[in-house]
Structure 1
Amino acid sequence: MAQSFWDAAAPVISVTERHPFLVSMVEGTLKPENFAYYAIQDSLYLTNFADCLRLLGEKMADLNAEVSIRLHQFAAGVEEDEMHRTFFKQWNIDTTNAEPMPNTLLYTSYMMRIVSTRPLAEGLAVLLPCFWVYMHVGNCMLKLREKLGDSVERPPEFDAWIDMYSGEGFEKVVNDYKAIVDDMSKGVDSETLKRMEGHFIMACKLEHLFWDQANDLAGWPEFSESK
């Protein structure tokens, strides 16, 4: 069933896999300030993502203890987040006063609302794109990197990002989560499946907007008292 969600979101995903932020990262033309912006926002996002996984694990506890434990393991893995800490250290990124930018807040607010207020199956569906889309674009960027070969030099952090999301370890995590969504989909009615699909598509759109804001260095408007 998860595959049907992916197929329904194909128009969004096909555009995202060619996103200029991602392509410029592989081509080595992405500016350091854009990558730093992205890394900070992604770290803020992942804090909320881990909270959502933990909440789903709590909801799952009475239904399937094994799956509940696996969801908590996903959350713990997200919180470890060694890659981002390495980025922050190597790029001298200060996250002390970091705040979520508009599209980060839009995405996390939507995600948290669905996980907190909607049935478990819908909550599982809304988190799936974060796993699956990242694996997909990671593999797309890996193919582009292989195509470019040694003709391009890029910061090692860019290669680390590509290696992380195109790697076998991350693929296993994605496949495990997809299996959970598939199993949950078997026991719900057609209306719930439609809502799950809708959440999946919306999250795919929000993934795209997340890279848009990093590409544009989008921020909050300046507010001042009128005189």
Structure 2
Amino acid sequence: MSAQAFWDKTADLIAVTEKHPFLVAMVDGTLDIESFRYYVVQDALYLADFADCLRRLAKNEGVSAQDSERLNSFAKGAEEAELSLHRSFFVEWKISADGAEQMPNCLLYTSYMKRIVATKCHAEGLAVLLPCFWVYMHVGQCMLKLREELGSSVKRPGSYDAWIDMYGGEDFEKEVKDYIAMVDTACKGADETTLKEMEKHFVMSCKLEHMFWDQAQTRMEWPKIVAEGK
């Protein structure tokens, strides 16, 4: 079994995710900018936990020095490339993610991946983080293709184009392929039980990726609790 087998297992879900209304609306320019701002704040909070998970994997017992260095570089890339893009948006919008809290689907996703990384074997930890790389590359490339098909007549905020350029670009693709290769290596050394668990985590993270955009589309909030008599 390989990482490709995990991807093939989720083919139907991926086919739906690449056409998610939130993503399509980014490309055709109809997405409400407030929904995008909500998404960027939540994604910045997510990426901080994602980078932390990568660094935790890098410290696992038995991880080679080369893999440890690469995992740390992935974490650094998430912070310096992806988060720097988000911060550039914050500067443009004159807002900050300081004090923001993870909304339900974001917290569900980060809690799940942090639990797997903290309590399961290294191979399972690699698998649970893979969809964040692979799904983003895939939808970024799909969005890049749709943008080209729609042509220059469609106007959209520059922040949407910057997002599409990053995740649909060659630099991000190289990072993703390097991470996939690392997962493939882990698959070769895994027994059947571990492979099934890796597949389960990969599928769950793909579901949570889709739900992350559901959350952004509706701008989901925590229930408002008002004291009786207030």
Structure 2: tracts of 5 or more residues without a match: none
Match in the other structure for 1:77: 77
Distance 1:152 1:77 in 2: 31
1:100-135 deviations in Å (ceiling 9; x for gaps): 000000000000000000010000000000000000
TM-score by length of 1: 0.97
* Partner residue in 2 for 1:129: 131
| Fraction of identical pairs, as percent | 62
1:59 corresponds to 2:85: no
Q: Name the residue aligned to 1:91.
A: 93
User: Structure 1 residue 93: deviation in Å?
Assistant: 2.2
Aligned partner of residue 99 in structure 2, secondary structure: coil
Partners in 2 of 1:40 and 1:75 — Cα distance?
Answer: 18
Most deviating of 119-128 and 82-91? 82-91
Give the corresponding residue for 2:166: 164
Unmatched tracts of structure 1, length 5 or more: none
Confirm or deny: 8 A CA contact 1:36 1:93 kept in the other structure.
no
CA distance in structure 1 between the aligned counterparts of 2:79 and 2:225, rounded to whole angstroms = 34
Root-mean-square deviation over aligned CA pairs: 0.9
Residue 175 of structure 2 aligns with which residue?
173
TM-score normalised by the chain length of structure 2: 0.96
| Letter in structure 2 aligned against 1:42 | D
Report if aligned partners of 2:44, 2:97 keep a CA contact under 8 Å in 1.
no
Aligned mates of 2:17, 2:158 — CA distance in 1: 23
Aligned partner of 2:35 in structure 1 is 34
Give distance in 2, aligned partners of 1:92 and 1:32.
14
The size of the alignment, in residue pairs, is 226
